Amino acid sequence: MSVLLSPWENPPSTIKLARGEVQLWRFRIDLPTDVIAGLRPLLSRDEQLRAERLLDPLKSSNFVAARGRLRQILAGYLNLQPAAIEFSYGGQGKPCLTAKTAERLTFNLSHAGCWGLLIVASGFAVGVDLEKIDSQLEYEKLAGLVFSSAEVACLEQYACKRRRRAFYRIWTRKEAWLKGQGGGFSASAQMVQDAGWQIRSFSVDGGYLGALALAAEVTEVQRWHLH
């Protein structure tokens, strides 16, 4: 049975997460300059340096917005100040909370266009991916490069007018699964078929597609929209 997703709702004033529960947050990252300026000091020194190194002002501002919101949301679970949260990084760069901050809380972040998504769980790995559907993308070429032959065959089963969305569906599902594992990203990764995981696609807004990857036993995901 496929995991049940709640509608996007306002989050409660007190955030709680029992073991086995999963919560998915949606927030905007195209924020006014003064809001970005207010989020910047929440970031650690290395995050601020990373934002400075991004020469494209939009990419830099999106990074600050996503990391700032990530810290604000996690602070609600951890009862900490956003700036006090410490991250460590896996071999392929997946951020997680340091054992000092929280042992069981896991999360994964994705951002594209004007939206960010954050999945939060307790006790198991999770992955999320978000893509803005690009009507100009030469997706068939890209599929040839990064999809397995089974994924290419799956794509070709769709009628032409539905194929672009199908490409993004396969892409985001694969990416969410790979991000859940936090491992390397390679074109040789096989079609997403893994008994330990379930993958769920969903719409984030017009023109945006998301996917999440989580433990097979999870039955429900609460979805919250942060204003």
Q: Which residues bind ligand COA (CB under 6 A)?
A: 63, 66-67, 92-95, 108-111, 129, 146, 171, 174-175, 179, 182, 185
Q: How far apart are CA 108 and CA 137, in angstroms?
A: 26
DSSP of 55-106, one letter per residue?
Answer: -SHHHHHHHHHHHHHHHHHHHHHHTS-GGG--EEE-TT--EEE-TTT-SSEE
Minimum separation from the CB atom of position 226 to ligand COA (A): 16
Assigned token pair, 217: 């036993």
Residue 81 vs 92, nearer CB to ligand COA = 92
Minimum separation from the CB atom of position 1 to ligand COA (A): 26
For 104, half-sphere exposure in the C-beta direction (CA atoms, 13 angstrom radius) is: 9
Residue 94 vs 223, nearer CB to ligand COA = 94
Minimum separation from the CB atom of position 182 to ligand COA (A): 4
For residue 111, the surrounding DSSP H or E stretch is strand 105-112
Residue 1 vs 45, nearer CB to ligand COA = 45
Minimum separation from the CB atom of position 177 to ligand COA (A): 9
